[in-house]
């Protein structure tokens, strides 16, 4: 089922951080995140039981001291945490896994 991403209303989860939830499959939540220049995820994003992954489409996302530009795939396994931010602004397409791989 095709979906026009821009047609999905964004949810503002923090200053300059917008998420659009996309239709997915059972056990996988899919989303697009937009970070405005200078924005940071509002809290530490903890993955207790299952993982998360994202693909940077535009701009740069910073995780700790690593900068991830367009075309970069970043994956986090269970029992991990991160707090993405961006100096340039960024868009990423991602997945949260709600079932074991």
Residue 70 pLDDT more than 90? Answer: yes
The C-alpha torsion from 96 through 39 and 17 to 67, rounded to 10°, is -30
Give which of 27, 79, 75 is closest to 49, Cα–Cα. 79
Domains of the chain: total: 1
Q: Does some domain include residue 72?
A: no
Residue 46 pLDDT more than 60? Answer: yes
Residues 6+ apart with CB under 8 A from 69: 56, 59, 60
Helix or strand run (H / E) with residue 20: strand 17-25
Q: What is the pLDDT of residues 85-95, one digit of tens each?
A: 999 999 999 99
Q: Does some domain include residue 84?
A: yes
Range of the domain at 88: 5-27+34-67+80-97
């Amino acid at each position: 089922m095709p979906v026009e991403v821009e047609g999905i209303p964004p949810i503002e989860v923090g200053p300059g951080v917008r998420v659009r939830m996309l239709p997915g499959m059972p056990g996988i939540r899919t989303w697009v995140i937009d970070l405005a220049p200078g924005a940071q995820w509002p809290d530490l994003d903890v993955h207790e039981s299952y993982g998360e992954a994202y693909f940077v489409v535009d701009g740069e996302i910073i995780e700790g001291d690593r900068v991830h530009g367009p075309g970069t795939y970043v994956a986090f396994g269970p029992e991990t945490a991160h707090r993405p931010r961006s100096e340039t602004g960024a868009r990423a397409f991602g997945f949260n896994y709600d079932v074991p791989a």
